[in-house]
Amino acid sequence: MFKFLKNVIAYSFVPVILVITTLLCLPIALLPEKYRYKSRIFHLFVNVCARLIFFFGFIKYKIYGKNNLPDHNNPAVFVMNHTSSLDIPVIELILGSQPRIWITKAEYTKVPVWGFVLNRMHVALKRESHSSVKHAMEKIFKLASDYGSHIALFPEGRRYTDGKIHSLFPGFAVMAQTLDRSVIPIAVSGLNKILPSKSFLVDSYAQTVKIKIGPAINYKDFQTRQDFVEYTQMWFEKELESKSE
């Protein structure tokens, strides 16, 4: 019964929070490129939104490795395993008001108002379209270089709900090499149990979400791109395996 009441609270407040955040962010999204991509106010709004989502969802979490976070003067490529629709707020609450650019699915930009904000603040792509992926990569290289923003993405390319890491696409390695940036891996466990696939109810009793921020992985420390990707893959495998024990 208590689980049901908690879900009533979550689904009563979270949509309101999302609507208010979207309306607050809309004026910023309307600004010229050089202002909107450097706006810390926009990301502060999004950060507060993420924290409220976890608060009203009664979701407990613990963050490890905060000392591995770079500041805004050292922009990085953040990569995280993707197990739940709640994954995105994880990076949002970690980075505070530091500007970051997400690579997001083009389908999300079709949602009225919210989709417009996403399209203006993120880089949208159609994963199945080679030309769309190429255009998105070129755009994110330019934006990241021009405005010194962090980049955030899910290198698996899609959501997997088994709690394991799957094969990583090498796009993040290309970004790290081209932009000469460190990769900051973030391993998250537990969200797939709190909001299971095809489930409407949030089970905040399932477990405490564990968020591990790993040390920077530098491309120049590896001989080949494949070595870099494999090392990152192994880091995720090790961290997620230890969290499942």
Average confidence (pLDDT) over 32-61:
94
- Count how many domains the chain has: 1
Q: Tell me what pLDDT residue 244 has.
A: 54
d(CA 67, CA 70): 8
Q: What is the pTM of this model?
A: 0.92
What pLDDT, in 10s, does the model give residues 197-243?
A: 777 778 877 789 999 999 999 999 999 999 999 999 999 999 998 76
Q: What is the average pLDDT value for the chain, to the nearest integer?
A: 91
Q: Which two tokens stand for residue 23?
A: 């309306």
pLDDT greater than 70 at residue 245: no
DSSP codes of every residue in 210-229 = EEEEPPPB-GGGSSSHHHHH
Distances, alpha carbon 3 to alpha carbons 7, 84, 168, in Å: 6, 19, 36
Average confidence (pLDDT) over 123-143:
87
Average confidence (pLDDT) over 172-193:
94
What residue numbers bound the domain in which 153 lies? 2-244
pLDDT category at 78 given cuts 50, 70, 90 is very high
d(CA 18, CA 46): 9
CATH number at residue 102: 3.40.1130.10
Q: Tell me what pLDDT residue 235 has.
A: 97
d(CA 82, CA 73): 27
Q: Tell me what pLDDT residue 194 has.
A: 87
3-state secondary structure 158-207: CCCCCCCCCCCCCHHHHHHHHHCCCEEEEEEECHHHHCCCCCCCCCCCCC
